[in-house]
Amino acid sequence: MAILEIKNVSKFFGGLAANSDVSFSVEEGMIMGLIGPNGAGKTTLFNCITGYYPPSKGEILFDGRRMNGLDPDKVCMLGMVRTWQKVRPLAKLSVVDNVMVGALARTSSLKIARELAMEQIKVVRMEHRADFIAGGLPIGERKKLEVARALATQPKLLLLDEVMGGLNPAESEEIIQLILDIKKRGLTQMVIEHDMKAIMRISDRIVVLTSGEKLTEGSPQEVVSNPDVISAYLGEAHA
Amino acid sequence: MNKTILMPIVVLVVLGGLLAIPKFVDSPYALHMMILLFMSVMMGQSWNILGGYAGQHSVGHAAYFGVGAYTTMMLMHTKQIAPWYGVWAGIALVVVVALIIGSICFRLRGPYFVLASIAVAEILRLSAINLTTLTNGAEGILATELPAFKIGGNIITDFATKVPFYYIGLFLVALTIAVTYVVQHSKLGYFFQAIREDQDAAHSLGISISLYKNIALVISAVLTSLAGSFYGIYVGFVDPPTVLGLDVSVQIMLICIIGGMGTLWGPVLGSLVLVPLSEALRSNMITEALVKVGMVNAESKIGIFLKENLSHAHVLLYGILVVVVILFMPDGLMGFIKKLAKRRKQEAV
């Protein structure tokens, strides 16, 4: 069953079409990869899906419900949560307090929220950092904190915007394992990623965007062997 | 010693001491200073909820202070309604004003919100000057005769001395700090701080930004209005510049900035510094002290110069102090103390 359906979504900024007529759907339990060169409109699409921008045209259906024009907080309460390409820790709060903010979306009790938060902190293996101030963490741990905080809102669909960006290979590997762990628990994920090797390993399906349009969609193998994709990434000569 | 045990004990001891003060001190001046201190803590702490925790730096808190003060005073003056009833009208009106301001100004972020908050307070100040039939305009409202406070026919107090005001002030301060404590240790506190740290991130985590900003504003405004009402009945006089002026808003904010924003005890520390300091500067105590310790001869040129000018320069000196604190203690006194404590802890390790 499709948990998320993107139907002919376009987003214009003045005359510029950041997304035009993009359609695809995400099946429950899968990992959907979203790739494309810089400026292809991946993050804009995330912003449209999660309520930061209203789409100019088209429809976004989550769990069969029309999401257009809903505010980000409503989107989160309905079960869709995102992380940020440029990490946004609540810098002056401790790691556990950061994750508690996410958990408080589902409970009003601080005690329960703290327990839920500690669970998610364990999932990203940051127990030893629980009482650290988030602003002082290195980038790899900030990225993991983003994931833990998002998980604490108990989503049905997790949208990860370049969680591996800026990480070293060892840290990336840790994130890959984390994403696969999350999949095992049955959570649907949509992942924007630049690291082709990583996205090929984790994705069940991949959508390729270029210049705001959907270029193709398919299994990782189909996508890498598609000459259009190769030319979009490397130029015509390599296709 | 364990901090969680130590803290309530310290608070109870201090509270007990404060309750006992009027029994031992009968100097009206000392009680007056304590009442000013209470008022300052209330004002700073009220602002702290919106500015310190939720990160919305209102420079228009005079609006709520003034509306509270004016409503209570106007009802007492024209309708002979006792202030302990009038204060509720003040609160109701302030909630309305706050929600109007909130629904307009919270669409704006950062400096734009600051400008809008100033504008709203200025509108109210100008209205108070010009709506002369309602507010008596620039002349202000003088109402020094408080009715006696009775419970079941027994007169509890007739407000002849400063003692009843002292206890009212103490009660209101305790209330304000208690409210802040409860907010800080609840979902609200977490959401306010999340909004302060990163509004977009908070929004993505299911926090309705406009709802929680307005909640912070209403709590803050109601407490500020209580402080305003208390000011009105204590001083017995309100006019537009003293309760609605921009410098009132700035004063409210400074208590917090100097003490430490977003901390429970910051406004208390800020008040402990600012109230005695401004009083000392204003009443020329510093010149007297310098003369007393023999640093300055009262008859010399410098002595006469200081005596004549230092009290006028109090605003200037106050400003210099603020600049120094902001430069060297960007997180206020609380931040400075925490930093020192951390350093000592590290040295101990």
Distance CA A226, CA A236 (A): 13
Q: If you average pLDDT over residues A189-193, what whole number do you get?
A: 94
The pLDDT confidence band at residue B310, using thresholds 50, 70 and 90, is confident
**Residue B268: inside a domain:** no
Q: Give yes or no for residue B1 having a pLDDT over 60.
A: no
pLDDT of residue A234: 74
Q: Is B122 helix (H, G, I), strand (E, B) or coil?
A: helix
Q: Name the more confident of A235 and A52.
A: A52
The pLDDT confidence band at residue B348, using thresholds 50, 70 and 90, is confident
Q: Is A83 helix (H, G, I), strand (E, B) or coil?
A: coil
Nearest beta carbon to residue B197 from set A76, A92, A150: A92
Q: If you average pLDDT over residues B190-216, what whole number do you get?
A: 96
Shortest distance between the Cα of B185 and any Cα of chain A, in A, equals 8
The beta-carbon contacts of B314-321 under 8 Å, at least 24 apart in sequence, are B314/B278, B314/B281, B314/B282, B317/B281, B318/B277, B318/B278, B318/B281, B321/B277
The b/e string for B25-61 (b: 16+ C-beta within 10 A; e otherwise) is eeeeeebeebbbbbbbbbbbbbbbbbbbbbbbbbbbb
Shortest distance between the Cα of A51 and any Cα of chain B, in A, equals 9
pLDDT in tens, A113-157: 999 999 999 999 999 999 999 999 999 999 999 999 999 999 999
**Residue B321: inside a domain:** no
pLDDT of residue A186: 93
The pLDDT confidence band at residue B2, using thresholds 50, 70 and 90, is low
pLDDT of residue B166: 94
> CB distance from B194 to chain A under 8 Å?
yes
**Residue B301: inside a domain:** no
**Residue B100: inside a domain:** yes
Q: pLDDT averaged over chain A?
A: 92
- On chain B, the residues whose CB falls within 8 A of the CB of A71 are 203, 208
Q: If you average pLDDT over residues B124-152, what whole number do you get?
A: 86
The pLDDT confidence band at residue B3, using thresholds 50, 70 and 90, is low
ipTM: 0.92
Please state which of the ranges B230-234, B264-268, B293-297 shows the lowest mean pLDDT.
B293-297
**Residue B336: inside a domain:** no
Shortest distance between the Cα of B135 and any Cα of chain A, in A, equals 42
> CB distance from B138 to chain A under 8 Å?
no
Nearest beta carbon to residue A90 from set B187, B193, B206: B193
Q: Name the more confident of B60 and B110.
A: B60
pLDDT of residue A239: 54
pLDDT of residue B126: 95
**Residue B229: inside a domain:** yes
pLDDT in tens, B207-258: 999 999 999 999 999 999 999 999 999 999 999 999 999 989 998 999 999 9
Q: What percent of chain B has pLDDT over 70?
A: 99
Please state which of the ranges A149-153, B268-272, B326-330 shows the lowest mean pLDDT.
B326-330
pLDDT in tens, B60-106: 999 999 999 999 999 998 888 888 889 999 999 999 999 998 988 88
pTM here? 0.91
Q: How many domains does chain B have?
A: 1
Distance CA B129, CA B222 (A): 23
pLDDT of residue B294: 75
pLDDT of residue B167: 93
**Residue B109: inside a domain:** yes
Suggest the residue from A43, A50, A71, A73 to mutate for an interface test with chain B (most B CBs closer than 10 A).
A73
Domain housing B123 = 27-263
**Residue B340: inside a domain:** no
